A and B are shown apart, each in its own frame.
Chain A
């Protein structure tokens, strides 16, 4: 009976597979290797060009820049730069046209191939970004101020960056760009034939042959060979293995140049021999792996899971909840006839129960904010009071603004341009769990003031498109900031209050515009602080958007490691982990 035999045979195979597996040996090198969970696979390992936030976590340990913000103190530290950059005015024909920033790279700094790291590598990095065929629109926008770069012919370790206008971010931005090795990424010296200025300003007038060279370079540069298999940077770690969607392993370079400067600052200590990043999208799975000792660090778990885990298993695990540079807010289209009046926007703030959001939705793992800058910034204006949840006050404000319930349907209305408008507002949300809960709380609160909030769940890209076209009323948003000082120009200047510009709210008047322009030219941090303070006051008074809370990151780490809480993303600094 052949069928019978086939069935028996298949059962036998199943049993063999189940029975034939022996228990696994313990993880090798347990003391040397840190295992970090990532919720999704990085897209590529090319700083400033990768689009996944997880790529950045790895790039930070593989690449190095001239200076870098200390993850704990947020003060700039010298990494590749031998000393603080010297900044002077750039004078042409008697006029100050901008700034010249002089850099010198450390003498011992070299690539793992033995080649020295020089100003040529820096120039090459900028050329990569400005090659129009490289998909780098975002970073090009930030580096727009760079006019030219001159490398000292006598000492290639020295170079100068010429920045147009007295832009206050010229120095920090130009010094925090991770540097790519020219000899590795451009072995045929293709980009040598183009000057930075040509790439920046005349790339549309190039010959066909020249365009083809740029195209070939871009294709090769973006190919998996360079972006995934063989990335090379000046950091302490190199990529050892990448199994897509499974794991990435970074290994400590044995002959790293930085060891010669060991102890100078945090960027010169790199303890673990290996950092493994494992991709685990599911939160429950990640927690199980942590409990089973297969993973050392997990992040981005929900506040509720975090608190539950803290109550259950705290003796074997360490818990950290640093406040990182991000906050939740509701963007308002101030051009909408219903939201034009400042009193209406303030009333909405009074109807938004932020305290409830903080305690219930985020399980108290958050901090309330009043303005556009994160509270950990030195120029955060802490003299401004939190705006309380106060429906009675909201009702008074709405009455005064002329919004009354004239037809008794429970929703306030007003005649604008001869038309009766109900105070009905649409709130776009991405439909995430937290987003839905916040929207619900807002909706309930608004109802108490006679305002109807309709929640529209949609993908973020659709929300963004509506905002670009200014066809939205309210959007639930997350703002992410950097350790760099904030430049309010993009989001708050009236120059950008046009389609495709990112002042989506329609905020701004002469005073605020003036402050922003002055702020961008003020190099002295003390003077800038005063401007930031005044700017926050104006925002506070005008209430262009509804600021809510800055959530804390949820990080759980195995107690095998001695760790410190960091103030920068991702909230911990793996190279400083020490085995207990």
Chain B
């Protein structure tokens, strides 16, 4: 079994790497400009002086702070005419400019130096020049018409010596007659965003939340406590009620009493949890339905003093947990009922009866452990879900748990937090799968691991 475990654990590494790689690149493909988000997205671009170079400088600073000023990965495969700066340029419009210049002119390093000088010199020129000169200078931006640009720069060089370097770069350029059909290979080494990110992750540095500047792990930890308690309570309720009801339904056979219980369960199953949650909230907290009966259960976590005890927390979680339990109860009870019914018809039960064992002993000692198999599988898959939280319930009852954190972070593009949760849940999903196998073996000694009897898993 230990050999099997080692292999399984080693398999974690490539799986995790795959998950991280995919999610990193997906996060880069999300529409919208991440840099302007850092700068504070607003309808106004507040440059009281109207100086665009001021804005570009701020844009570059913001880009640098989130590693958008370096290539994404260790290498790039792209058209061979692209100047190298294309891959580290954060601004979409200027990336386009590099591309267009590269298509038309060569050598690439002249394009690189021309464009970077355009930004470097721009700010000085803006301060010293009059309106006409500014316009002339700005007409260079995005242009690929080399002759026109040379003309403009010649005029500007008379007043601004700084422009002569750009003029020099332009004059060095030649028209690109043909474009290679083969893509180019660009190597960036360790200076890339993925490498920085994964190196930080490797030492468990999950980064700083973009929203409030706190460590992402601190935010996750706070939310995790609430969600674990809420879902733990719900799980306890589900198993505590669902399993006995399921067993009882199976062994009682068909009767009026079981029909009533089943109907109640199905009615609960049909109720959407958000609706139930809202009803519970209004019923217990306001006097709309007569005297408020449950204000003490509800005191929302927000109104509790800073030091909260476990009991305080569990108390406010009773109703949210109930909203999760009631609609899912039918599912658990049905699972258990079916599972027990299947076992009831098996030969070992008949043997046990023939041996004269008591009814209770047959059920609890022989049937239930066997009937628990499907429940265990279900529980193992539930572990990551336990952490994922329930957004709707959390919003309605105002629980600052994982559901809300994840939702806010995804829509707020707070990647450090999103990735922390992702790493955590993927890890636990893998652990969950593994522990299910181990628990099988623990509950049922017939289950063995390794290849001695021809394969993994239970036989």
Q: Is B76 an interface residue (CB 8 A)?
A: no
Binds B, one of A88-96, A275-283, A398-406: A275-283
Tell whether A280 pairs with B212 under 8 Å between CB atoms, given A291-B286, A294-B299: no
CB contact between B50 and one of A227, A469, A495 (< 8 Å): that residue: A495
Question: Which B residues are CB-close (under 8 A) to A222?
Answer: 213
A281, B243: Cβ atoms closer than 8 Å: no
Tell whether A461 pairs with B36 under 8 Å between CB atoms, given A291-B287, A489-B48: yes
Question: Which B residues are CB-close (under 8 A) to A247?
Answer: 302-303
Question: Which A residues are CB-close (under 8 A) to B61?
Answer: 132-133, 137
Q: Is B442 an interface residue (CB 8 A)?
A: no
Residues 367-400 (chain B) with a chain A CB within 8 angstroms: 368-369, 395-398, 400
Q: Is B345 an interface residue (CB 8 A)?
A: no
Question: Which A residues are CB-close (under 8 A) to B296?
Answer: 21-24
Question: Which A residues are CB-close (under 8 A) to B31?
Answer: 459, 462, 465
Binds B, one of A9-17, A98-106, A299-307, A338-346: A9-17
Q: Is B297 an interface residue (CB 8 A)?
A: yes
Tell whether A294 pairs with B303 under 8 Å between CB atoms, given A138-B42, A224-B213: yes
Binds B, one of A176-184, A378-386, A439-447, A496-504: A496-504
B395, A17: Cβ atoms closer than 8 Å: no
CA A1 to CA B359, docked complex, whole Å: 12
Q: How far is the CB of B213 from chain A (nearest CB, A)?
A: 5
B213, A24: Cβ atoms closer than 8 Å: no
B 348-378 binary contact with A (CB < 8 Å = 1; else 0): 0000000000001100110011000000000
CA A460 to CA B288, docked complex, whole Å: 38
Q: Is A142 an interface residue (CB 8 A)?
A: yes
A465, B285: Cβ atoms closer than 8 Å: no
A288, B50: Cβ atoms closer than 8 Å: no
Binds B, one of A78-86, A238-246, A351-359: A238-246
B36, A285: Cβ atoms closer than 8 Å: no
Residues 253-268 (chain A) with a chain B CB within 8 angstroms: none
B395, A282: Cβ atoms closer than 8 Å: yes
Residues 184-241 (chain A) with a chain B CB within 8 angstroms: 204, 222-224, 227-228, 241
Question: Which B residues are CB-close (under 8 A) to A228?
Answer: 212-214
Q: Is B116 an interface residue (CB 8 A)?
A: no
Question: Which B residues are CB-close (under 8 A) to A498?
Answer: 52, 138
CA A501 to CA B59, docked complex, whole Å: 13
CB contact between A278 and one of B62, B302, B368 (< 8 Å): that residue: B302
Q: Is B143 an interface residue (CB 8 A)?
A: no
Q: Is A44 an interface residue (CB 8 A)?
A: yes
CA A495 to CA B361, docked complex, whole Å: 87
A142, B48: Cβ atoms closer than 8 Å: yes
Tell whether A279 pairs with B236 under 8 Å between CB atoms, given A3-B368, A17-B318, A18-B318: no
A167, B239: Cβ atoms closer than 8 Å: no
Question: Which A residues are CB-close (under 8 A) to B219?
Answer: 244
Residue from B48, B295, B397 with most neighbouring chain A CB atoms (10 Å): B48
Tell whether A167 pairs with B48 under 8 Å between CB atoms, given A1-B360, A21-B315, A135-B38: yes
Tell whether A502 pairs with B302 under 8 Å between CB atoms, given A23-B296, A282-B395: no
Question: Which A residues are CB-close (under 8 A) to B459?
Answer: none
Question: Which B residues are CB-close (under 8 A) to A138?
Answer: 39-40, 42, 46
Question: Which A residues are CB-close (under 8 A) to B222?
Answer: 244-245
Known: A11-B244, A244-B222, A288-B286. 6 other contacts (CB 8 A): A23-B295, A44-B213, A141-B47, A142-B48, A292-B286, A292-B292
Can you name 28 A-B pairs with beta carbons within 8 Å? A3-B364, A10-B239, A14-B237, A21-B296, A21-B311, A24-B296, A27-B303, A35-B303, A40-B408, A43-B211, A43-B213, A137-B39, A137-B58, A138-B42, A144-B49, A224-B214, A228-B212, A244-B219, A249-B306, A280-B300, A285-B398, A289-B285, A289-B300, A461-B41, A464-B36, A495-B50, A496-B50, A500-B45
- Chain A positions within 8 Å of B, measured between CB atoms, are 1, 3-4, 7, 10-11, 13-14, 17-18, 20-24, 27, 35, 40-41, 43-44, 51, 132-133, 135, 137-145, 167, 169, 204, 222-224, 227-228, 241, 243-247, 249, 278-282, 284-285, 288-289, 291-292, 294, 459-462, 464-465, 468-469, 477-479, 487, 489-491, 493, 495-496, 498-502
6 closest A-B pairs by CB:
A245-B400, A141-B46, A137-B58, A278-B302, A461-B32, A23-B296
